[in-house]
């Protein structure tokens, strides 16, 4: 009987201790992606593994169990020391593997014979994003004229932008009041600038929220500062500068130069001409663009069809997936790059991340890849002829047997490998210059 009570007590202690190590701090951390989740224990499986005659517990029916831990002498000889660090490490590793598997499955989802691409987005933080939904408590409408620029400073709510052929600006303000807290905003005009600022009061659970629906003339400039909300646009022909935190942004098309800075956000754009992307812990998805300049850390980028991609300074951590691209230059660390179809040129440096070029046009002129701890895979058309110059340290150059290869130089000295030559029988139309440290280069 004492053994049974002791066993139940130990199970309870373990359970209480597990709940006590709930992750501290609800704010996201920029220094690293820290995975913090509650440790869930399946007690059914634990008890199933214990071989105890259940009839022995019949004696406990109707028993009011009130344990004084100090008075249980049977526990005096036990030193319970649970290493929570090892438990947390195991949980983190399992979570990482689960996320990796889930992403892989989503990216190649096949339903009814059709391929669908899904992009997952998540961020560290407690509770959902604050969005104003449902029927507003109050609606206010305003109109403005002789305005060339609009700026928003908004938290907790949405911004919807529409274009019209009118020269007038129409603004609809939807107020969602909570617990006797009324939302408010300040609106000023000066030197053809319309400025809209949301006044934030109350705690997060009782904070009023506001939606802005604004209709603007074509070619007007927008400066948006949005936290905890959604921003939606259809076709927009003016200049755009957006600064987002914990927000979702979507636009059908951006006709002029645009800049989007995002933290813990999801950005989706149909068509863009010239756009600058920056930020951290965000997902960027663009279907078509003439030029993209991208920088930041811990971002996942999906670009379907772009002419030019520039990464002006080193970006770290995250994945870059490109459908069709004209040319690309940049430097990345701890980021995997996958290109389905290269049309012109590529000049990149990559450290601790893999580079894969699955296919390319016969019109490609230059492939320049410098890697370090980075596996490089390049797929060439069978009818393409190119010269190659490969330098490796603790690595090797592997060329598929389906290509005709002529080596003009092949030197292996210690841990260094140098190989030069030509792929294909025709006149070379492209140049491949690759180098790598502690990894291989495959041409396949």
Q: Taking a C-beta distance cutoff of 8 angstroms, is the pair 213, 160 a contact?
A: yes
Q: Which residues contact 23 (CB under 8 A, 6 or more apart)?
A: 36, 37, 38
Query: How many helices (H) and strands (E) in the chain?
Result: 3, 26
pLDDT of 215 above 80 = yes
Range of lowest pLDDT (89-98, 105-114, 262-271, 336-345): 105-114
Q: In the predicted model, what is the mean pLDDT of residues 172-189?
A: 91
Q: Could you tell me which residue, 444 or 386, shows the higher pLDDT? A: 386
Instruction: Tell me the pLDDT band of 179, cut-offs 50, 70 and 90.
Output: confident
Average pLDDT in the chain: 79
pLDDT of 92 above 50 = no
Q: In the predicted model, what is the mean pLDDT of residues 379-383?
A: 92
Looking at residue 133, its pLDDT comes to: 63
pLDDT of 44 above 60 = no
For 100-145, what is each residue's pLDDT tens digit?
444 444 444 443 333 333 333 333 333 334 455 678 999 999 999 9
Q: Which two tokens stand for residue 285?
A: 């998805």
Considering the domain architecture, whether residues 231 and 249 belong to the same structural domain is answered as: yes
Q: In the predicted model, what is the mean pLDDT of residues 219-232?
A: 96
User: Does residue 105 form part of some domain?
Assistant: yes
Considering the domain architecture, whether residues 304 and 443 belong to the same structural domain is answered as: yes
Full residue range of the structural domain in which residue 198 is found: 127-269
User: Does residue 216 form part of some domain?
Assistant: yes
Considering the domain architecture, whether residues 198 and 301 belong to the same structural domain is answered as: no
Residue that is last in its domain, among 230, 253, 269: 269
Distance CA 433, CA 267 (A): 35
Distance CA 401, CA 417 (A): 20
Considering the domain architecture, whether residues 437 and 315 belong to the same structural domain is answered as: yes
Contacts of 404-411 with CB under 8 Å at 24 or more apart are: none
User: Does residue 288 form part of some domain?
Assistant: no
Q: Taking a C-beta distance cutoff of 8 angstroms, is the pair 271, 287 a contact?
A: yes
User: Does residue 306 form part of some domain?
Assistant: yes
User: Does residue 19 form part of some domain?
Assistant: no
Range of lowest pLDDT (11-25, 108-122, 306-320): 108-122
Q: Could you tell me which residue, 79 or 176, shows the higher pLDDT? A: 176
Range of lowest pLDDT (8-12, 56-60, 269-273, 313-317): 56-60
pLDDT of 439 above 60 = yes
Considering the domain architecture, whether residues 244 and 303 belong to the same structural domain is answered as: no
Looking at residue 315, its pLDDT comes to: 85
Which residue, among 250, 299, 375, 372, has the nearest Cα to 311 in the 3D structure?
299
Instruction: Tell me the pLDDT band of 200, cut-offs 50, 70 and 90.
Output: confident
For 253-284, what is each residue's pLDDT tens digit?
999 999 999 999 999 999 999 999 999 999 99
Looking at residue 122, its pLDDT comes to: 33
Domains contained in the chain, number: 3
For 387-423, what is each residue's pLDDT tens digit?
999 999 999 999 999 999 999 999 999 999 999 999 9
Considering the domain architecture, whether residues 343 and 360 belong to the same structural domain is answered as: yes
Considering the domain architecture, whether residues 310 and 411 belong to the same structural domain is answered as: yes
The dihedrals phi and psi of 151, each to the nearest 5 degrees, come to -130, 140
Considering the domain architecture, whether residues 255 and 317 belong to the same structural domain is answered as: no
Considering the domain architecture, whether residues 163 and 255 belong to the same structural domain is answered as: yes
Residue that is last in its domain, among 208, 234, 269: 269
User: Does residue 40 form part of some domain?
Assistant: no
Question: Which percentage of the chain shows pLDDT scores above 70?
Answer: 69
Looking at residue 151, its pLDDT comes to: 98
Considering the domain architecture, whether residues 111 and 188 belong to the same structural domain is answered as: no
Question: Which percentage of the chain shows pLDDT scores above 90?
Answer: 64
Q: Which residue has the tokens 């259809």?
A: 234
User: Does residue 134 form part of some domain?
Assistant: yes
User: Does residue 26 form part of some domain?
Assistant: no
Q: Which residues contact 433 (CB under 8 A, 6 or more apart)?
A: 366, 367, 368, 369, 388, 389
**pTM confidence score:** 0.70
Considering the domain architecture, whether residues 311 and 382 belong to the same structural domain is answered as: yes
Residue that is last in its domain, among 211, 234, 269: 269
Q: Could you tell me which residue, 40 or 253, shows the higher pLDDT? A: 253
Distance CA 28, CA 14 (A): 29
Considering the domain architecture, whether residues 234 and 325 belong to the same structural domain is answered as: no
């Amino acid at each position: 009987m004492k053994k049974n009570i002791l066993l139940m007590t130990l199970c309870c202690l373990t359970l209480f201790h597990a709940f006590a190590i709930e992750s501290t701090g609800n704010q996201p951390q920029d220094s690293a992606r820290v995975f913090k989740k509650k440790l869930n224990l399946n007690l059914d499986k634990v008890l199933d593994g214990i071989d105890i005659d259940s009839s022995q517990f019949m004696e406990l029916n109707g028993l009011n169990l009130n344990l004084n831990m100090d008075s249980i002498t049977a526990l005096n000889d036990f030193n319970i020391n649970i290493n929570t660090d090892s438990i947390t490490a195991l949980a983190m590793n399992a979570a990482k593997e689960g996320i990796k598997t889930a992403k892989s499955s989503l990216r190649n989802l096949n339903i009814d014979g059709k391929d669908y691409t899904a992009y997952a987005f998540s961020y560290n933080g407690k509770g959902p994003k604050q969005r104003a939904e449902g029927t507003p408590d109050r609606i206010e409408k305003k109109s403005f004229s002789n305005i060339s620029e609009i700026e928003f400073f908004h938290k907790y709510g949405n911004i919807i932008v529409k274009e019209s052929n009118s020269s007038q600006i129409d603004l609809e303000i939807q107020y969602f009041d909570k617990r006797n807290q009324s939302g408010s905003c300040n609106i000023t005009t000066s030197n053809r600038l319309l400025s809209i600022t949301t006044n934030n009061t109350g705690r997060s659970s009782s904070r009023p929220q506001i939606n802005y629906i604004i209709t603007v003339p074509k070619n007007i400039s927008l400066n948006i500062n949005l936290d905890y909300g959604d921003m939606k646009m259809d076709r927009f022909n003016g200049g755009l500068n957006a600064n987002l935190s914990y927000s979702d942004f979507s636009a059908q098309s951006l006709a002029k130069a645009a800049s989007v800075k995002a933290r813990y956000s999801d950005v989706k754009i149909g068509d863009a001409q010239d756009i600058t992307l920056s930020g951290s812990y965000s997902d960027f998805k663009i279907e078509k663009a003439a030029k993209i300049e991208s920088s930041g850390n811990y971002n996942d980028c999906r670009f379907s069809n772009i002419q030019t991609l520039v990464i002006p300074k080193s970006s770290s951590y995250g994945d870059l997936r490109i459908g069709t691209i004209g040319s690309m230059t940049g430097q990345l660390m701890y980021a995997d790059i996958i290109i389905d179809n290269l049309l012109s040129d590529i000049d990149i440096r990559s450290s601790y991340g893999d580079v894969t070029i699955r296919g390319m046009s016969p019109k490609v002129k230059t492939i320049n890849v410098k890697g370090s701890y980075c596996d490089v895979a390049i797929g060439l058309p069978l009818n393409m002829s190119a010269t190659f110059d490969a330098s490796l340290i603790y690595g090797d150059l592997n060329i598929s047997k389906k290509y005709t290869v002529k080596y003009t130089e092949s030197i292996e000295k210690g841990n260094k490998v140098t190989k030069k030559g030509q792929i294909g029988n025709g006149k070379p139309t492209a140049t491949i210059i690759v180098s790598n440290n502690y990894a291989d280069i495959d041409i396949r």
